[in-house]
Structure 1
């Protein structure tokens, strides 16, 4: 069941705000997965890593490679790395790698928030 208020927030948000929301959800899923690894909760770990992976795939697929130029190419490389790394974390329970991915996503989210604040 989808929260109707959340649905409305997403539907009425600007494209940049929607991106920030995707980053927030991916980061939250990674944080839950990291805690699940430490608690040996395999089901929660897998579900949240796969959710984060799906979000990164959506971010990757949404890149406009023609209009985005060098920034889009760099983001594509970064998203590809994150997708592969999440699969590695899922197989190896490498919490340190997961923490680095959370840092990368947090930095990207901050950059989008900075851009949003200037518009």
Structure 2
């Protein structure tokens, strides 16, 4: 597989998705990317590709950080505080999965993020 060509295609697709996107759409793009990367991290753990696992876990943690940085803790109230806690929990669990090499922990975080993504998708569907 031509990884350079695929990477260029993914970058162009992502740029097209974020150009003119609403804040909710940007969250959805980030969450979908996070879910994709967690699937890769899980596969790296299962196949003992430790260096690749580390890179994937770090990408996931960066995406959680981006989600957290998009929260307005001053205006968002309790819901934003809870989202921040969920993002912190996901980050901690992925760190634990990376250290313990336990793919079931990644599954747990995938389930959590899928639930959050589905909720954001409902918000997007109502505003579309």
Report the TM-score range of the alignment, normalised by the length of the smaller protein: over 0.9
CA offset at residue 9 of structure 1? 2.1
Q: How far apart, CA to CA, are the structure 2 residues paired with 1:84 and 1:5?
A: 30
Mapping for residues 32-43 of structure 1, pairs under 5 Å: 32-43=40-51
Q: How far apart, CA to CA, are the structure 2 residues paired with 1:20 and 1:36?
A: 24
CA offset at residue 38 of structure 1? 0.8
SS at match of 2:76: helix
CA offset at residue 6 of structure 1? 2.7
Superposed CA RMSD: 1.3
Residue 118 of structure 1 is matched in structure 2 by 126
Residue 18 of structure 1 is matched in structure 2 by 26
**TM-score if structure 2 supplies the norm length?**
0.87
SS at match of 1:66: coil
Q: How far apart, CA to CA, are the structure 2 residues paired with 1:63 and 1:39?
A: 35
Ranges of 4+ aligned residues in structure 1 off by more than 6 Å: none
SS at match of 2:48: coil
Pick aligned residue for 1:76 from 66, 84, 98:
84
Render the CA deviation track for 1:66-119: whole Å, top value 9, x for unaligned. Answer: 211111011011111111111111111111111000000000000000000001
Q: How far apart, CA to CA, are the structure 1 residues paired with 2:41 and 2:34?
A: 10
CA offset at residue 5 of structure 1? 4.2
Q: Where do 5+ consecutive residues of structure 2 fail to align?
A: 1-6
Pick aligned residue for 2:71 from 63, 77, 80:
63
Looking at both structures, which has the greater relative contact order when contacts are Cα pairs under 8 Å and sequence separation is at least 6?
Answer: 1
